[in-house]
Structure 1
Amino acid sequence: MTTHGAELNWAVIGTGFISQSLSDDLHRTPGARRHAVCSRDLERARTFAADNGFAVAHGSVSALLDDPTVDAVYIATPHSTHAAIAIAALEAGKHVLIEKPMAVSAEQGRRIAAAAAVSGRFAMEAMWMRFNPAYRDLVAAARAGAIGEVRSLRASFGLPFGPADSSRWTETRASSTLLDQGIYPITLALDVLGRPSRMHASGRLRDDGVDLTVHTTFEYDDGRFAQLSASMVEYIEPTASVSGSDGWMTVPAPFWAADEFTTRAGSIARALTDPPHRTQHERRGHGYVPMLEAVTLAIAEHRTEHLTHTLADSIATLEVLDAVRASLSSPTARPKETR
């Protein structure tokens, strides 16, 4: 395995759009080397490797995990496969960075954490939003009282990635707008407001159980609330705002990858008419670089987790996602629709 101070040999499992963007940002990350790629189709893996600067191509996960030159793997496969591949990689002595969601349930997340503890290797869900400098500033400012006492939050991630009857989305792959898009608004709400006292969810479900659109409300005993939405078949303005007793902060689209936000505060006249205070950061690559730098450095320092996003954090979010899914599937939620 790579020692402290040497470049870390990264492998990417999966050759989709996310892997393409991540590969570009690995090239921009000090201490990281694009080394190996894996696809079920070996020729596809070879083409991806040649196009994206990887030295080695593998046609199966087992072959990649048997490769002693691989130090760390990024898992960018369908949701339903994340837990099994992550556990196998940890058991093979590899560090793992898992595309969100880390798993499809809190139970699976706890199994990953147990495997990580036994292996002594680094493991983390790739919630890159939490490493985004603008996002970190937003959360810190909210907690520090920049808009007084935070009272509510709104966040949405709705983009039409395909038709409702798309054959690419299946229950066996754990296709889900809640897991894929909804995890971002929910993470923001948890970071700013904490775990809710009550939650309600409704949305569109296909007859095979795939959720297409989800609307969730978090409620707190002291009257605070969050309104959260996600969809993979329609636009829901992909912005966010945090409101308080003395003003509000607004994050432009796409809020999970934004490099700026604005703050309006003070008296009504001032908040409505004065130019907003703008907080800006330079965007680096596709946005993954801050996370990849943090993870690569943590591994070089022989750490098994990163405090910015621990396995416990991911499991806590999965517990909330489990509860939202249960609410969505309840008899009071909107009935399922045929494909």
Structure 2
Amino acid sequence: MTDRVVEEIAVADRESTLRWAIIGTGAISHHIAQDVTGLIGAELVAVASRNARRAGEFARLHGAAHAGSLSEVLRLGEVDVVYIATPHATHHEIARRALMAGKHVLIEKPATMDVAEAEDLRQLAQATHAFLMEAMWMKFNPAYRALIDFVQSGGIGAVRSVRASFGLPFPRDDSSRWNADLGGSALFDQGIYPLTLACDMLGAPTEITARGVREAGVDIAQHMTLEFGDGRYAQLASSMSEFVEPTAAVNGTDGWVEIPFPFWVATEFTTHLADPKTFLTSQTSQFEKQGNGYTPMLRAVQQAILDGAREHSLHTWNDTTAVLALLQSTATQITQNR
């Protein structure tokens, strides 16, 4: 390593409370703060923002004792873990600084803008013995876990295809969503969910064909077909300029599963299975939403850190880099073939 020597992170005592800091004061940060403060064994102690007024207002609203700049918050000894919820293009640098400051790190998706940045963070986390994870909350959602278990147990036979979309027209404002320099991208922000679902159900694709629409360096809509061999495929789409039905379906040889809007944080799914007497039977499985939907992930991360783990088995850093590589490949095609 060429960076300064870093101190090894001490594993928190199993009985202790983990103390959290949130970096960023956007809408997602408010949802995260509410779920952190509602979690047993967690305490929100600090918030960081480039805007001192916003940081102070956020801290007062959510009961955090400290508010300040990134540097000020990372110097706080009472912060154990940080949640990074800033524009995509800033994730890598902020995560680097947090790891160097001796913090465990949870990063809003996408964790970074490319695989090289992700690998850099992996090496630094290993050197500092820190927990590092991308906040792919969908994979911790109770309904999603039940869906995975059901499909993997052969509930719909062999999986043959996936259809998933996330298209919603967002306001054309001055947010980072529409800013190329800050990593604005419908593919990286929304398309990551359909792509993750497809990979969880079908594995790694052998081929991707993608087309999309770009404005001022930002991909605002895209659609893609992924091939997985033996005729298996996924048809995926995402958009921040128009509606594309934000639901999903997993299709197998014995039936299919429908996941309603919003599929990435759904509280139910409906199974349709072949039946020799009635042709088709349907059953809906329902699950309780926990907090704003981030609670299951935050709880799992907290327990993993207290157990001394450096990542979580439900979403490893290898999972993150695999999807990032597919996002990069897709983005290249969109740029070349639009």
TM-score by length of 1: 0.94
Partner of 1:222 in structure 2? 230
Q: C-alpha separation between the residues in 2 aligned to 1:302 and 1:17?
A: 31
Partner of residue 94 from structure 1, selected from 93, 99, 103: 103
Residue segments in structure 1 that go unaligned for 5+ positions in a row: 335-339
2:17 maps to 7
Report the equivalent of 1:250. Answer: 258
Cα distance, 1:271–1:90 mapped onto 2, change above 3 Å: farther
Q: Secondary structure at the match of 1:329?
A: helix
Which structure 2 residues correspond to residues 14-163 of structure 1 after superposition, within 5 A?
A: 14-58=24-68, 60-163=69-172
Aligned with 1:325 (options 315, 323, 331): 331
Q: Which of structure 1's runs of 4+ aligned residues deviate more than 2 A?
A: 1-4, 163-168, 267-272
Paired residue for 2:286, among 255, 280, 288? 280
- Say which of 189, 193, 203 aligns to 2:202: 193
Deviations 1:146-181 (A, max 9, x none): 111111100011111123997861111010000000
Q: 1:313 aligns with which of 308, 313, 319?
A: 319
Total equivalences in the alignment: 328
Residue 102 of structure 1: SS of its match in structure 2? coil
Contact 1:246 1:267 in 2 (8 A): no
Letter of the structure 2 residue corresponding to residue 24 of structure 1: Q
Q: Report the alpha carbon displacement of residue 267 of structure 1 after superposing the two structures with TM.
A: 3.7
Distance change in 2, residues 1:266/1:6 (3 Å): same
Change beyond 3 A, Cα 1:249–1:75: same
Cα distance in 2 for residues equivalent to 1:141 and 1:66: 45
What is the CA distance between 1:269 and its match in structure 2? 6.8
Moved more, 140-149 or 111-120: 140-149
Other structure's SS at 1:64 match: helix
Quote the sequence identity (%). 48
State the partner residue of 2:239. 231
Q: 1:166 to 1:36 in 2, by over 3 A?
A: closer
C-alpha change, 1:167 and 1:147, in structure 2 (3 Å) is: closer
Q: 1:269 to 1:177 in 2, by over 3 A?
A: farther
Return the TM-score normalized by structure 2.
0.94
Report the RMSD for the aligned CA atoms in angstroms: 1.5
